[in-house]
A and B are shown apart, each in its own frame.
Chain A
Amino acid sequence: MANYRDIIARYQDKPGGIIEAYHALQREFNYIPREAVKEVARVFRLSEAQAYGVATFYSYLSVEPRGNYIIRMCESAPCHIAGADEIIKAFERELGIKVGQTTPDGKFTLELTECVGQCQGTPVITINSVPHVGITPDQIPAILALCK
C-alpha cells in the first residue's frame, strides 16, 4: 500500500490540488485517514480545520473508514419510484447492517447516494463507483457473491 505522504506530495504543486489529493487518497484507502488530513493541511498550508472542512464538504469523500466494497444505492426520485427502498432493505437484510455501516469483517459498506447519472436503468447501485443498473432484490445475493 502506498504511503499517504507520497500520494499527497504528487499534488502539492497543482493549484487547488487538495481535492485531487483527497480523491487519490480515497482511491488507495477507500477513505481519507485522519493523519492524511493533517498532512494535507501541512502540505497545502491550511489549518487542519480547513483541510477537514474541505474533505467533509463533499459527500463522495469519506473521512470514516469503509469496507473494501462500497455499495451505494441511488435514492433520487427516478430510482425512488423504481423501488430503491426495497433494494436497500434487501441489502440491509443480506449484509446484516444498516445504511451507513460497514460489515464487521470490513468487506462491505452500504451507503445512499443521489443520482449517479445512469437513470436509463433505474434502480441503480454502484459498487466501488461502477454502476449496476436495473437491480432487483432477488439479484442481490448473486451480486454480493461476485465481490470476492
Chain B
Amino acid sequence: MAEELRIVLRNADKIDASNINDYIKAGGYTALEKARRMEPRAVIEEVKKANLRGRGGAGFNAGLKWSFVPPAETKYVVCNLDEGEPGTYKDRTIVQKDPQTLLEGMAICAHAIGSRQGYIYCRGEYPYLVEHLNNAIAQAKAAGVLGDFDIEVRMGGGAYVCGEETALIESIEGHRGEPRFKPPFPGVAGLWAQPTVVNNVETFANLPEIINKGADWFASIGAASYPGTKVLTLTGDVVNRIAIEVPTNTTIRQVIYEFGGGIRNGRKFKAVQIGGTSGGFIPESLLDTPIDFDSMRNIGATLGTGAVFVMDDTRDIVDIVTRIAKFFEHESCGKCNPCREGTFRCYEIMKKINRGAATARDIDNITVLARVMQKAALCGLGQAAPGPIMTTLQHFRHEYERKLLS
C-alpha cells in the first residue's frame, strides 16, 4: 500500500492554521532563521541543488530561476495563488491548512534574492483566503518573524489567463490581464519593470523543509529528475475526492486505486485527465506511469497543477472535451490571433462533432488548427488549449468517429 509523504502539508490538520504560535511550536520559522544566517548566494545554490521544480505547471528549477535575478534597488517576490485550472484545489488546501509555511517560504526567497516586498495574487473566487492570509500576515508582522519583508495580498478577478505570470503582473499593476511578450522574463523585468520572482504556492511551501533538512534530503525523494512530493487533487468518478501529497515516483494507478479508492459506484475506469483542464487525457494502458513531470511528458501528458480528473466508462469523452473547448474560448484574452480565433474555432468544431453534424474533414481541420495553436499562440493558454482534443483523438478516436456523419 502506497503512503502519503507530507512536506508542504506536514502541519495540515495538526495545528491551528489561524494561530502563528502553533506554527512556531511545530518548528516554524527556524528555516528562515537558518537561511538568514546563510549567504543569499548559498540559499540559491541549496534550492538549485535540491532540484525543486516549479509546482505551478512549468516545472522550472526554482533556484535556477532565482539565480537570474540581476542586482537592483527594488525586487519583488510574487506568489501565484490564482489557481484557475479547473479541478485544482491544492493551493487553497495548503493555504487554508498552513498559511505560515507559505509566508516563511516567500521570506526565504526574499532573503535569497534581496527583496523587501512580496505580493500574493489570490484569485477573486477565494475571498475567504484573502482574509485568512491577511490575518496570518498580521500575526507574522506582530511576531516580528518577517523582519523587513512586507507581504501584500492582491485579488484577481476570475480570469484564468491571469495565472500566466506576465498576465498576473499586468493585473497587479492594475491593467487588463493580458500576457506580455517574453523576453524580458519577469526575473529580469517584471512588476513595475523591476526584477520579480513569480512562484507557485506549493513551490514556496516546500522551501522551509528544504532549508531545514537540506538539498540532498529533498533530492533523494521520489523521481530523480523531479524530486520531492506533489500535492494532487482528486475529482470526478473516484471514490475519495481528496487532496493528497505523494512522492513524485507514485504511479497514476496508485493515485487512483490506492489513494482514490478506485472508481465510484463499482464502475470501470475509462480515462483520467491530469494537470487540469489543459492536461492530456490518459487511457488505462498508461496508468503505470509515474506522475513526475518528465514521465508524464514522455507519454504526451502533463503533470500540470496535479489535478486528477477521473472518468468512468459511462462518460462521453467528446461531450467533456466540448465543454473544455468552451472553457478556453471563454478564457482566451484575445491578445493574440492564434488563440483568440483558434479557441473559437476549436469550440465551434467540437460542438459540431458533439451534435453529430461533423465529417472526417472536420477532424482533419481541427488537427491542423491544433498544431498551429501549439506553435503560434503567444502564451501557454493557446498553446495548451488543443491538448485535450489531441490526446483524446489519439487515445479515444473511436468516440469521435462514432459521432461523425457517415
B327 within 8 A of A: yes
- How far, in angstroms, from A22 to B128 measured CA to CA in the complex? 17
Does the CB pair A120–B243 fall under 8 Å? yes
In the complex, the answer to whether A81 meets B176 with C-beta atoms within 8 Å is no
- Is B156 an interface residue, CB under 8 A from the partner? yes
Q: State how many residues of chain B have any CB contact under 8 Å with chain A.
A: 50
Contacts of A9 in B (CB 8 A): none
Chain A, Cβ-Cβ closest to B176:
A57
Establish whether residues B127 and A129, one from each chain, have CB atoms under 8 Å apart when the complex forms: yes
CB within 8 Å of B: which A63-87 residues: 75-78, 80-81
- What is the CA–CA distance of A61 and B242 in the complex, to the nearest angstrom? 30
CB of A136 within 8 Å of the partner chain:
no
How close is B240's CB to chain A, nearest CB, in angstroms? Answer: 9
The proximity string for B residues 363-395 relative to A, scoring 1 for CB distances below 8 Å and 0 otherwise, is 000000000000000000000000000000000
Contacts of B236 in A (CB 8 A): 78, 81, 122
A18 at the A/B interface (Cβ < 8 Å)?
yes
Residues of A within 8 A of B83 (CB): 117
B192-235 contact mask (Cβ, 8 Å, vs A): 1 or 0: 10000000000000000000000000000000000000000111
B residues less than 8 Å from A59 (CB atoms): 157-159, 330
A59-B159, A77-B309 in contact; A15/B87 too (CB < 8 A)?
Answer: no
A92, CB-defined interface residue at 8 Å:
no
B158 in complex: contacting residue of A60, A78, A119, A130, CB < 8 Å: A60
Q: Which of A53, A115, A120 contacts B176 (CB 8 A)?
A: A53
Chain B CB within 8 A of A7 CB = no
Complex interface: chain A residues within 8 A of B124 (CB): 23, 58, 60-61
Extra A-B contacts (9), CB below 8 Å, given A58-B124, A58-B177: A15-B173, A17-B174, A23-B155, A57-B177, A59-B159, A77-B273, A78-B236, A78-B309, A115-B88
27 contacts between A and B (CB under 8 A): A16-B172, A16-B173, A17-B174, A57-B159, A58-B156, A59-B157, A59-B158, A59-B159, A59-B330, A60-B156, A76-B327, A77-B323, A77-B324, A77-B327, A81-B311, A81-B320, A113-B125, A114-B84, A114-B160, A114-B327, A115-B85, A115-B87, A117-B88, A117-B123, A119-B235, A120-B234, A129-B127
Which 9 A-B residue pairs are closest in the complex by CB-CB distance?
A58-B157, A60-B158, A16-B174, A76-B86, A115-B86, A60-B124, A57-B176, A18-B174, A119-B235
